[in-house]
Structure 1
Amino acid sequence: MEKYFDINEKGFSVRCKMFYAKDLKDVEYIVIATHGFGGSKENKTIEKFAQKLYSKHKNYGVLSFDWPCHGADARKKLLLEECMEYLSFVIAYSKEKLNAKDLYIYSVSFGAYLTLKYIVEINNPFKKIALRCPALKMYDTMIKGISKEDMLKLSKKKEVLAGHDRKMKIDQEFLEGLKNSDVMKYDYMDYADDIILIHGTKDEMVNIEDSRKFSQNNVIEMLEVENADHRFSDPKTMDIAIHTIVEFFS
């Protein structure tokens, strides 16, 4: 089953999509699923993951939402602090309105970066954390996709457009925020047993070496999926990732 709803807080409206087996009242445990940069909650891989999860565990639900400036969100300019606000709203709603006994999170790429930023800079409300192809050096990843012309505009304090299907405004302050919140420099040892990292060996967007270094430095379990690209576009590789995460959350 699917249900759409909005979380309206502090003048923001977070567009959400909930996946569950039959009755929302039966959901005791919630997995928050976050998409990557330029994506949205209308994510087929999240839907596939949710179906696999609640087919095995009827009391689990998956809550996906649009990051600011993504999908159906009303924001036009991407701000890191608003990303943190959105995740805070979704966490609070899951606990207070949906009465989740435990929270889990499954995050991809930019969403994984924001998850790591959140748990170390704000708090960690999650029982288990699964990260797929995390953009651990998000500043470097963003810079690679910005033209020289736009970089010049940014240096002059001007806004430029970024994104894929939907364009959003970013500025130099956003990039500086990414640089200052370098999750590679933080210590995640206290959370290591509750984190799993999955990365494809043929990721063309995010360097797998970053994940190897991150997992080694923090003693985090890492699964390398042979021949998987950034999006795990081969269904066989996606099946491996989903199975691994479902078992980890179980």
Structure 2
Amino acid sequence: MEKKFDINKEGYSVRCLYYCGKDPKAVTDIVIATYGFGGNKENHATKKFAERITAKYKNFGVITFDWPCHGEDARNRMILSEFIEYYQMVIDHATGDLGAERVYAYGTSLGGYITLLYLNEKGNPFTKIALRVPALHMYQNFANGISEDEWKTLRKGRDITRGFTRKIKMTQEFLDEVKAHDVYAMDFLDYADDIMIIAGSKDEYTSVEDIEEFCDNNVIEYEVIENADHPFTDPKLMDLAISKIIEFFGA
């Protein structure tokens, strides 16, 4: 089943989507699934993962939510700390209101970046963490797509816009925040046993070499899926990635 709900707390309203089997009371394990920049909680990749794991394991549920300024979220300017606040509110809802005994993280691209940033700032509440093509160089990914004219606009204190179905305002302040929070340079050795990273050999945003170096430095398990691009557009390769993540979660 699918259910939309909002978490209203501390002046925020986090728009969520919950997937589970026929019996919500059977759920003891909840995966918090996050996605890439410009997406939203109703993205196809998350839905496919949620349907797979909840159809096979009645004890698993999946929560996804709209990042700040994404999807149906009410905010109109990105602040990096609010991404962490949203994440924390969803974790608290899963363990509190929904009574999950264990929570897991499945982060893709920007979602992988924010998950790593969360670990660095808050510690690890997750039983297992799976990251598919995490944006290890988030600032550089943003910067590479900004033209010289747009940099001039930003330096004048004005916004530029990015995104797909929803246009998202991007500011110099936000970019400076992301630049100052470089997860590639952070230490995750304390959490390494609980993390797995899946890379795509044709990922155009985070190279296999960078993922290998990051994982080697932090002793993190990783796997490279041949011919997979950043969004895993080949359905068979996406299915393979989902299978590996579900197996890693021990479902």
Same fold (TM over 0.5): yes
Once residues 64 and 227 of structure 1 are traced to their aligned partners in structure 2, the CA distance between those partners, rounded to angstroms, is: 27
Aligned residue for 1:3, secondary structure, equals strand
Once residues 82 and 170 of structure 2 are traced to their aligned partners in structure 1, the CA distance between those partners, rounded to angstroms, is: 13
- Unaligned 5+ segments in structure 1 are none
1:9 CA drift (Å): 0.9
Once residues 159 and 47 of structure 1 are traced to their aligned partners in structure 2, the CA distance between those partners, rounded to angstroms, is: 32
Once residues 127 and 97 of structure 2 are traced to their aligned partners in structure 1, the CA distance between those partners, rounded to angstroms, is: 19
Once residues 211 and 229 of structure 2 are traced to their aligned partners in structure 1, the CA distance between those partners, rounded to angstroms, is: 14
1:149 CA drift (Å): 1.0
- Shifted more, 225-234 versus 153-162: the winner is 153-162
1:130 counterpart residue number:
130
Confirm or deny: 8 A CA contact 2:23 2:58 kept in the other structure: no
- Which string of whole-angstrom CA distances, capped at 9 and with x for unpartnered residues, describes residues 185-217 of structure 1? 111111111000001101123222221111111
Aligned residue for 1:30, secondary structure, equals strand
Q: 1:147-162 residue pairs with structure 2 within 5 A?
A: 147-162=147-162
Confirm or deny: 8 A CA contact 2:215 2:222 kept in the other structure: yes
Once residues 132 and 112 of structure 1 are traced to their aligned partners in structure 2, the CA distance between those partners, rounded to angstroms, is: 7
- Which string of whole-angstrom CA distances, capped at 9 and with x for unpartnered residues, describes residues 153-174 of structure 1? 1122222212222111121111
1:56 CA drift (Å): 2.3
Aligned residue for 1:242, secondary structure, equals helix
1:57 counterpart residue number:
57
TM-score between both structures, scaled by the size of structure 2: 0.97
Does 2:211 align with 1:211? yes
2:121 counterpart residue number:
121
1:183 counterpart residue number:
183
Once residues 189 and 32 of structure 1 are traced to their aligned partners in structure 2, the CA distance between those partners, rounded to angstroms, is: 22
Confirm or deny: 8 A CA contact 2:201 2:207 kept in the other structure: no
Instruction: Give, as a single letter, the amino acid of the residue that structure 2 aligns with 1:79.
Output: I
- Which string of whole-angstrom CA distances, capped at 9 and with x for unpartnered residues, describes residues 21-41 of structure 1? 112221111000001100011
2:244 counterpart residue number:
244
Once residues 225 and 149 of structure 1 are traced to their aligned partners in structure 2, the CA distance between those partners, rounded to angstroms, is: 37
CA RMSD of aligned residues (A): 0.9
Q: 1:134-145 residue pairs with structure 2 within 5 A?
A: 134-145=134-145
Instruction: Give, as a single letter, the amino acid of the residue that structure 1 aligns with 2:36.
Output: G
Aligned residue for 1:126, secondary structure, equals coil
- Unaligned 5+ segments in structure 2 are none
2:5 counterpart residue number:
5
1:71 CA drift (Å): 0.8
1:18 counterpart residue number:
18
Aligned residue for 2:18, secondary structure, equals strand
Instruction: Give, as a single letter, the amino acid of the residue that structure 2 aligns with 1:5.
Output: F
Confirm or deny: 8 A CA contact 2:30 2:63 kept in the other structure: yes
2:198 counterpart residue number:
198
Once residues 103 and 88 of structure 1 are traced to their aligned partners in structure 2, the CA distance between those partners, rounded to angstroms, is: 12
Confirm or deny: 8 A CA contact 2:83 2:114 kept in the other structure: yes
How many residues end up aligned between the 2 structures? 250
- Shifted more, 28-37 versus 50-59: the winner is 50-59
1:44 CA drift (Å): 1.2
Aligned residue for 2:128, secondary structure, equals strand
